[in-house]
Amino acid sequence: MQEAIEKIKEAHHIVLLTHVDPDADTLGSALGMYHSLKKMGKRANVINTTQIPYNLDFLPDIQKIKKELPKRYDLMISFDCGSFDRLGIEKKEAFLINIDHHRSNTLYGDIDIVDPEAAATAEVVYALLEEGALPIPKESAISLYTALVDDTGFFKYESVKAGTFDLAKKLCERGASPEWVARMLTMREPLSKLRLLPLVLQTLTLHLNAKVASLRLTQQMLAQTGGTKEMGEEALNMARNLATVEVALLLRQEEDGRIKVSMRSKERVDVGKIAVAFGGGGHKRAAGFTSELHDFDEVLERLLDAIKKEIE
């Protein structure tokens, strides 16, 4: 961490990298660092090559995120990304600091700051800022708090420890408003989402004595409702909430026909382990991967074989 702090202090132009199909943790962590760097007088750019989720538009300066790398920079920092290929860039052209909390991280950085015990990557970022006595303005606090509550499901996942609440307290003291962030994240749903969810839930199927629930999301559903692909995650959580279900699966058809799989579990099955076996990654209770296969049934059959072994 000390070496990373020195690299940050020495750099003039820093690129902050977020993973493709971004969530609140990757974006909030990057923007938290962005506002700290701006307070230090550094040049900084946040980069994401894919679509930003609709419900994160309130994050301070999120509109300044760029899709392409600048021509010149002297340091790269990645956030919440388990492998280099998920950054959406072709090659590493500067010294890279990799900040994450995924156990499956491939340690692709020149410096790797990866803490699997952290509840969110935002927690690792805050520790770095605090260790280096770097500025943490209100904008950083809002971004990091948003990342923290979103990645912990508002403090209900097993990754939450006493220190998680200590961090939330510190971020609130620095200007984050829990009520406002919660309202921004959960109380601004578009009509398209309410039209999409019933279509996804209609595909609900139970497997392995109702211990596994699967859902499907097609491109046709998105076109029919005007919804966006991340909107299906709520249906996935609803499926996991069923009394008998240990593992919930969402199989989502990508634009190129490939099947992206998101997995959630309650307490017995390590879906992160399963995701790694299929070329993906994540956590014990939330993980995913993208299959090169284009057939829902084939992907599901292979997944159920792997899950059955874990359950047994």
234-252 pLDDT, tens digit per residue, is 999 999 999 999 999 999 9
Task: Check residue 34 and give its pLDDT.
Answer: 98
pLDDT class for 195, splitting at 50, 70, 90?
very high
pLDDT class for 265, splitting at 50, 70, 90?
very high
pLDDT class for 20, splitting at 50, 70, 90?
very high
Round to whole Å and give the CA distance between 210 and 204. 11
DSSP 112: E
Round to whole Å and give the CA distance between 105 and 89. 17
Task: Check residue 13 and give its pLDDT.
Answer: 98
What angle is formed at CA 1 by the lines to CA 43 and CA 60, rounded to 5 degrees?
A: 40
Which has the closest alpha carbon to 284: 270, 299, 304, 296? 270
Q: Helices marked H in the chain — which ranges?
A: 2-10, 24-39, 121-131, 138-151, 162-173, 178-186, 191-201, 219-225, 233-240, 271-277, 296-311
Domain 191-311 falls in which CATH fold? Diaminopimelate Epimerase; Chain A, domain 1 (3.10.310)
Task: Check residue 307 and give its pLDDT.
Answer: 97
DSSP 66: B
Q: In what order do the strands lie in the sheet with 212-217?
A: 205-207, 212-217, 247-253, 259-265, 286-291, 281-282
Res. 124: pLDDT tops 90? yes
Written as six digits, the tokens of 100 are 């994450």
Reduced to 3 states, what is the DSSP secondary structure of residue 29?
Answer: helix
Reduced to 3 states, what is the DSSP secondary structure of residue 233?
Answer: helix
**Tally of CB atoms within 10 A around 112:** 16
Q: CB pairs under 8 A, 24+ apart, for 189-195?
A: 190/54, 190/227, 192/225, 192/226, 192/227, 192/228, 192/231, 193/227, 193/231, 193/234, 195/224, 195/225, 195/226, 195/227
Task: Check residue 312 and give its pLDDT.
Answer: 84
Homologous superfamily assigned to 2-186: inorganic pyrophosphatase (n-terminal core) (3.90.1640.10)
Written as six digits, the tokens of 305 are 């074989």
Residues contacting 166, CB < 8 A, separation 6+: none
Residue with tokens 């991340």: 230
Which has the closest alpha carbon to 160: 170, 150, 172, 175? 150
Which has the closest alpha carbon to 253: 293, 290, 219? 219
Round to whole Å and give the CA distance between 238 and 222. 19
What average pLDDT is seen over the chain? 96
Which has the closest alpha carbon to 273: 310, 228, 236, 242? 310
Burial class for 42, CB neighbours closer than 10 Å (0-12, 13-18, 19+): middle
**Tally of CB atoms within 10 A around 48:** 22
Section 178-202 average pLDDT: 97
Round to whole Å and give the CA distance between 104 and 282. 6
Dump the DSSP string for 173-227. Answer: HTT--HHHHHHHHHS---HHHHHHHHHHHTT-EEETTTTEEEEEE-HHHHHHHT-
Domain boundaries, the chain: 2-186, 191-311
